[in-house]
Amino acid sequence: MAVMKPIASSDIPTGEEWLYEIKYDGFRCVMHWDKDSIRLTSKNGKNLTESFPEIVEFCSEHESTVANFLPLILDGELVVLNTDYQANFALVQQRGRLKDSTRIKQAAEERPASFLAFDILGLHGTAIEKEPLMKRKETLATVFQQIGKGKTLSFVPGHSNPKQLWDILFDHKGEGLIAKRKNSTYQVGKSHRDWYKIKNWRKLHGFLTTYDSQNNYFTVGIYQGDDVTEIGKCAHGLRETDFATLKELFLTNGEKRGAFYHLPPAICAQIHSLDLYKNELREPAFASLLPHEQPSTMTRKRLKLDMAMLPETIELTNTDKTFWPKPGYTKGDLLTYVREISPYMLPFLKERALTIIRSPDGVEKDFFYQKHLPEYAPNFIERIPAGDNEFLLTCEGLDSLMWYANHGTVEYHIPFQKRASEYPTEIVFDLDPPDRNSFPLAIEAASLLKELLDQLNLISFVKTSGNKGLQIYIPLPEQSMSYEQTALFTQAMAWTIEKAQPKSFTTERMKKNRGGRLYIDYVQHGKDKTIIAPYSTRKTPEATVATPLFWNEVKDGLSPEQFTIHNVPGRVKELGCPFSDYQLAKQKQQTESILTLIT
């Protein structure tokens, strides 16, 4: 069926008559849900049902919960989610192109898709698109109260504060937001003034090298070293007079080769784009021409910083300074990494007192630990008193995190409890081999510990330390265990593993007495003691990262050096975050088996 389409806008309409939703980057889709029947149809009428079997399977399993509402017609977006606010268009596009059922099933298992419903058009087999939007949203919310919360089928809520929603959207580098008039009816196409889409554009810089007289597109390029690299083509966005002037410049001065007119790098421009995928801009449009900019500044390094969408609150300094000499990574690379990984890292920093390591001149130069906020820190970093006119280091949002990175922070260490709590929020085992060459010992110890935790029906997670070991996490429900109780449990588990293989593992605290064995550090799990945060960079020569893993990755061949600031953001987008269900696991975790063991 034909769908209602939002109209592109550069401004967010405001007022009491509007509500706002996250715009997700996926396939617009209408779901027809009847008894024993699910059909997914794209906005162009293409049948998507066989391409997304996990959606069909979920609906079939939960049909009884909505039986009283069937038949249903839901309008929404088919997506593969990176975070709750950012979708991975490349992956959903790849899925849509698959034809082989075996490959489709494999893709559905590796990165399951979600159907995000934002409207309801049919209820009990009766069309309700003429009802006001707010009433339809209330009806949709009622349906999802029966389905329950989940990732496969989710409800897209409306928000009243566009600035707050935009801030969340920006932090997650989401596609944009949709503004909808509350009393609007559902009208096919764009013959309305009720739905508007506002894109979260990346603002990048490049120069123009070629004009195509057949389609009026200009080629956008940058310098990669001394070479010119094409990053996309652009035709729209300029005023008619500016476009005509630019076209005439190429026609008059350009070197003609067939339908193409070429100029050396000279004309610079700012371009709006949704993303850069496989070195090709998505939905590019001119923002402005830049007559005072020099082409020599349009580089790959600048493009990376542009695409990172760094907060305007941060005044970047020395982005070309080398921070990791061995791989040649710069401070700009650090800033880009921290920005890209921030949606996955920040949940582990919020509400905790940080200890950081700063290396303002790179990891091979002087460094220092810091636990208190310096006097010159900006006001957007929350001040939590720590006595004697000092304040704790806190990181409650993207601006704070990027400020720390801009001031040379290369490691983030966090305690096991939140600032306002005396109770641990997780149990962590630190498996510490004597050196990197002994990393297989960490793999072996982690596998043994996983077996023990599985026998106790405990949900566990694993990550590299980013240096030479592995760390095993057991998330805990709030205030479910004291530090005294967790100490008894960690000791029991450590002793059990040590006893199982005393030639490989030890709980001996003195390094000189460990004899080349892996140290099971259970003593480190205590109040106000710290551990490296998930996704934190490390002050290592290779720019390694404390990287969350899937348990099936903990096997022979695994190495800490595999995970660096260069590849971890791409890994998370491709495979998903192994800690994505961490908060859900905290709620579901049953600690009775632990309490029984220690009493």
Q: What's the CATH number where 211 sits?
A: 2.40.50.140
Indicate whether 164 and 207 sit together in one domain. no
CA 437 to chain centre: 32
CATH code, domain with 542: 3.90.920.10
- Please check whether residue 316 lies inside any domain of the structure: no
- Please check whether residue 533 lies inside any domain of the structure: yes
Q: Output the pLDDT for position 149.
A: 84
Position 480, amino acid: S
Residue at a domain's end among 169, 196, 223? 196
Residue 238's CB: how many other CB atoms inside 10 A? 20
Q: Is 443 within 8 Å of 470 (Cβ atoms)?
A: yes
Q: Output the pLDDT for position 279.
A: 76
Q: What is the DSSP letter of 451?
A: H
- Please check whether residue 296 lies inside any domain of the structure: yes
CATH code, domain with 179: 3.30.470.30
Indicate whether 510 and 555 sit together in one domain. yes
Q: Is 459 within 8 Å of 450 (Cβ atoms)?
A: no
Q: Report the C-alpha gap between 290 and 344 in whole angstroms.
A: 35
DSSP β-ladder status, 518-521 and 505-506: parallel
Residue 248's CB: how many other CB atoms inside 10 A? 11
Indicate whether 394 and 493 sit together in one domain. no
Helix (H) or strand (E) holding 42: strand 37-42
Q: Is 519 within 8 Å of 539 (Cβ atoms)?
A: no
Indicate whether 432 and 544 sit together in one domain. yes
Indicate whether 444 and 410 sit together in one domain. no
Indicate whether 89 and 215 sit together in one domain. no
Indicate whether 502 and 464 sit together in one domain. yes
- Please check whether residue 373 lies inside any domain of the structure: yes
Q: Report the C-alpha gap between 519 and 391 in whole angstroms.
A: 34
- Please check whether residue 436 lies inside any domain of the structure: yes
The whole domain housing 241 covers 202-303
- Please check whether residue 278 lies inside any domain of the structure: yes
- Please check whether residue 313 lies inside any domain of the structure: no
Indicate whether 430 and 410 sit together in one domain. no
Which tokens go with 563?
């995970």
Q: Output the pLDDT for position 388.
A: 86
Residue at a domain's end among 141, 169, 196? 196
Among 5, 23, 151, 173, which one carries the catalytic annotation? 23
Per the listing, tokens 């022979």 go with: 556
CA 331 to chain centre: 21
Indicate whether 36 and 179 sit together in one domain. yes
Indicate whether 468 and 553 sit together in one domain. yes
Q: Output the pLDDT for position 247.
A: 96
Q: Per the structure, how many domains does the chain have?
A: 4
Residuewise pLDDT in 10s, the chain (599 residues): 799 999 999 999 999 999 999 999 999 999 999 999 999 999 999 999 999 999 999 999 999 999 999 999 999 999 999 999 999 999 999 999 999 999 999 999 999 999 999 999 999 999 999 999 999 999 999 999 999 888 999 999 999 999 999 999 999 999 999 999 999 999 999 999 999 999 999 999 999 999 999 999 999 999 999 999 999 999 999 999 999 999 999 999 999 999 999 999 999 999 999 998 877 889 999 999 999 999 999 999 999 999 999 999 999 999 999 999 999 999 999 999 999 999 999 999 999 999 999 999 999 999 999 999 999 999 999 999 998 889 999 999 999 999 999 999 999 999 999 999 999 999 999 999 999 999 999 999 999 999 999 999 999 999 999 999 999 999 999 999 999 999 999 999 999 999 999 999 999 999 999 999 999 999 889 999 999 999 999 999 999 999 999 999 999 999 999 999 999 999 999 999 999 999 999 999 999 999 999 98
Please say if 23 is a catalytic residue.
Answer: yes
Q: Output the pLDDT for position 265.
A: 97
Residue at a domain's end among 149, 172, 196? 196
Indicate whether 62 and 94 sit together in one domain. yes
The DSSP result for 323-390, as a single string, is EETTTTEEHHHHHHHHHHHHHHHHHHHTTS-BEEEE-TT-TTS--EEE-B--TT--TTS---B-STT-
- Please check whether residue 445 lies inside any domain of the structure: yes
Burial 542-575 (b: 16+ CB within 10 A, else e): bbbbbbbbeeebbeeebebebbbbeebbebbbee
Indicate whether 216 and 284 sit together in one domain. yes
